[in-house]
Amino acid sequence: MSQSAAAAIVAAAPSRDRPPAGVVGPVAWLRANLFNSWWSTAVTLLLGYLIIRWGLSFIAWAVLNATWSVPVNELGQPDATICRTASPAGACWAVLGDKWRFILFGSFPYEQQWRPALCVLLFIGLYVVSGMRRFWRRELLLIWVAALTAIGVLMWGGVLGLDYVPQDQWGGLPITLILATFGLAFAFPLSVLVALGRRSTNLPAVKVICVLYVELIRGVPLISLLFMASVMFPLFMPVGMNPDKLLRAQIAFILFAAAYLAEVVRGGLQALPKGQYEAADALGLSYWQKTGLIILPQALRLVIPPLVNTFIGFFKDTSLVLIIGIFDLLTTGRIASSEPAWQGFANEIYLMLGVIYFVFCFAMSKYSRGLEREFSRARNR
């Protein structure tokens, strides 16, 4: 901004006289935003009353009447009678104190649970690094490979002096993160191929296959695919070969996610001006050069915000594996809540699970909105 323009703005700025009363200040704000008509006033009062009433009863339930710990009886079992006497009026947080390790890490050997904990940290680190624009380079791929390998080593063990832990003992948050991360890591490249195939004009047969794949998968619920993975997949394999449950669910999840991501990527491909395609052709680039160097870098950048929104959806959808009995976060929570000693305190556990899911999803959606703002600012310059 030039010097003269800045001077003009300073000159045009209002003088420092006090503004007229009743236009600014908290009282004026209240009048403008909460009590600007009798209708608005009535709504404000009603909602305010409900918020205060429910807020107070929630505080009473969650803090004042809550039970934070329970004694352990002679068998080493927690004794939840205190919780039961306080039950409808007060929360029982003792169930979380007793069960949080099981909810987070499933039946992973107790002394070894630092390994899944480390995995969770690795996953979070991976997300943070992938979210930072200064790391959006080819080296990011290496970081992903390294991190996913490290996670595999930590979970399975059997090398580097770590004990071997079979896959059916994994559970909790690492399973949710594994399903989401591996699912997206494999679904994304597949979705780009499918989107390109759907857009191709020279290969009608490929286009038909891609359209059929996307529309079929998008037309059926994820559950039916998971059922397919759990009961039909074993029939597809050669006699005697039976891949484990988690892998089967993972494959179903990848196929599901790829169909939805492909539609998002296709949106980006369509939004790109035709001139970009023609210019690449005019330069004499081959199809893959054109796609890799000109089209995809621009098209994918356009669709990052909707991609992140789709990622949020898949992160939530991993919870559906509960129905085919895979020990993800929601399943371990549900098992913990159905334990005889703690029966009737499911809501406390669901609240904890809700907070965990919310933190991940809210972080992603905040990030996606920030990116959107940044991109639109760059476009509207």
Partner 1 sequence: MSGTIADPRLSGRVAPKRRLRLSWSDPLLRNIVWQVLIIGALAAVIWYLVGNTTRNLEARHIATGFGFLSHNAGIPIGEHLIPFDPSFNTYGRALIVGVLNTLKVAVVGVVLATILGTLIGIGRLSRNWLVARLSAVYVEGLRDLPVLLQLLFWYGLLQTLPGPRQSWRLGDAVFLSNRGIKVPLLDWQDAHWWTLAAFLLGVLGTLAWARLATRRQEATGIRPPVWPAALGLLVGFPALAWAALGAPFTLDYPVLHGFNFQGGGTISPEYGALLIGLVTYTAAYIAEIVRSGIQAVPNGQIEAAAALGLRPGAALRLVVLPQALRVIIPPMTSQYLNLTKNSSLAVAVGYQDVVSIASTTLNQTGQAIEGIALIMAVYLTISLSISLFMNWYNAHIALVER
43 binds partner 1 (CB under 8 A): yes
Span from 43-51, 56-64, 122-130, 178-186 in contact with partner 1 (CB under 8 A): 43-51
Residue of 222, 259, 269, 296 interacting with partner 1 (CB under 8 A): 222
Residue type, 337: S
Q: Which is nearer to partner 1, 69 or 242 (CB)?
A: 242
Q: Which is nearer to partner 1, 302 or 330 (CB)?
A: 330
CA distance 115 to 94: 25
CA distance 164 to 162: 6
Span from 61-69, 90-98, 156-164, 224-232 in contact with partner 1 (CB under 8 A): 224-232
List binders of partner 1 among 297-336 (CB under 8 A): 312, 316-317, 319-320, 322-323, 330, 334
- Provide the β-strand partners of residue 72: 78
- Number of residues this chain uses to bind partner 1 (CB under 8 A): 54
What does residue 78 show for φ and ψ, rounded to 5 degrees?
-70, 145
List binders of partner 1 among 226-255 (CB under 8 A): 227-228, 231-232, 234-239
Residue 259: partners with Cβ closer than 8 Å, 6 or more residues away: 191, 194, 213, 214, 217, 218
CA atoms 108, 113, 115, 119: torsion sign: positive
Q: How far is the CB of 357 from partner 1 (least distance, A)?
A: 6
List binders of partner 1 among 21-40 (CB under 8 A): 33-34, 36, 40
Task: Please spell the DSSP secondary structure of 271-338, one letter per residue.
Answer: HS-HHHHHHHHHTT--HHHIIIIIIHHHHHHHTHHHHHHHHHHHHHHGGGGGGGT--BHHHHHHHHHT
85 binds partner 1 (CB under 8 A): no
Q: Which is nearer to partner 1, 35 or 375 (CB)?
A: 35
Report whether 96 contacts 353 (CB < 8 A): no
* Paired tokens of 196: 């390109």
CA distance 141 to 189: 12
Q: How far is the CB of 40 from partner 1 (least distance, A)?
A: 5
76 binds partner 1 (CB under 8 A): no
Contact residues for partner 1, defined by CB under 8 A? 33-34, 36, 40, 43-44, 47-48, 51, 88, 202-206, 209, 216, 218-224, 227-228, 231-232, 234-239, 312, 316-317, 319-320, 322-323, 330, 334, 344, 346-347, 350, 353-354, 357-358, 361-362, 365
